[in-house]
Amino acid sequence: MTDNVKINRGLKGVYFERSAVSDIDGAAGTLQYRGYSIHDLATHATFEEVCHLLMKGELPNAAELAAFDTEMRAARSVPDAVLDIIRVCKDGHPMDVLRTAVSALAALEPDSLATGEEAFLRNGMRLTAQLPTLVAAHEAIRSGRDPVAPDDSLGHAANWLWMLKGEKPSEDAARLADVDFVLHAEHGANASSFAARVTVGTEANLHGAIVTALSTLAGPAHGGAAEDVMKMVKEIGTPENAASYVKAKRANRDAVTGFGHRVYRAEDPRARHMREGVRKLGEEMGAPEWYEILQAVVEAMKPYSRHGLNVNVDFYSGVIYQLHGIPMDLYVPIFAIGRMPGWVIQCIEQQRGNILIRPLTLYNGPEPRDWVPIDAR
């Protein structure tokens, strides 16, 4: 009977549910959030507008956006007890500290145990607002500084940079961070979103699902690519070394970080928006060499594009963070800040007509055996 069972390892190519959120065409290299092209959203929308689109289903009008934004800004602060927990954990990896802080919020905030769509939306908006505060507070505490309080006069991305660095960002810097969040906001049933859905499938609360998502994102096969790209760029050193670096990697059958994607066979549609940001920011900061190294790697990888090894969004993200002086171990927490609205709507969708996600494994162990007493083994 088991000879005819097809195993889809990693659930590759398996549709487990319907979703009205992300439409991804890996062959064509396209991505839409609720019918809107990622190119239009990255060019024209703010992260707050995209949050409203994902969580509530439509782009907001001016009044709706103002109300949504006001609610988000009012939710940025976190309890002092959570900051105390961060102080205790300050020497841990930022993703471990972030996961622990969200668990602490679940225990400390009275509404966190509530379930149902309205509760998930309410808690999801609050967590989306709080995650930048948690990440920035940890960076300040481990650096021997006091956390910078949120500034309610600033938008989501600008406030994040303000709390992180203690200085008001330029309009260009804030917009680039905003675009980064928009590009990372949602991406279907990726590993962390699927893990969050599995948690919600057990009828757990949203905070528990977000802890699951954070734990999953922390794995280097999911969220760690931007950090690995920056390490690669530093190893290459100059644009002239890119071709030999790629040749050696391919000769050893090693992956070149930032190329290839589980879904996209064409270029990741999000990459182009980060590429231009790297170029402009590098020129403004007097460090164009990072962009030049990246483009030299892209040129060296062109012969492999026919195998689906095209640039993905993480290829450019790490250099943007580096140019901002952001430590490499914060790259994945930044990914998490951007992905929050996607996790929230994936959890809300799972809760509608909820079902326990319980796949099967095909047993391939020993045949039935007789019990052997311990003194006879």
Q: Which residues are identified as catalytic?
A: 222, 261, 314
Q: What is the DSSP string of 22-76?
A: EEEETTTTEEEETTEEHHHHHHH--HHHHHHHHHHSS---HHHHHHHHHHHHHT-
Contact in structure between 90 and 141 (CB atoms under 8 Å): yes
Tally DSSP H helices, then E strands, for the chain. 16, 3
Sequence-distant (6+) residues with CB within 8 A of 335 are 184, 217, 223, 226, 317
DSSP character at residue 142: H
User: Where in the chain does DSSP place strands (E)?
Assistant: 22-25, 30-33, 36-37
Q: Which two tokens stand for residue 111?
A: 């509404």
Helix-helix angle 206-217:94-108, to 10 degrees: 180
* CA–CA distances in Å: residue 5 to residues 8, 360, 363, 366: 10, 11, 11, 18
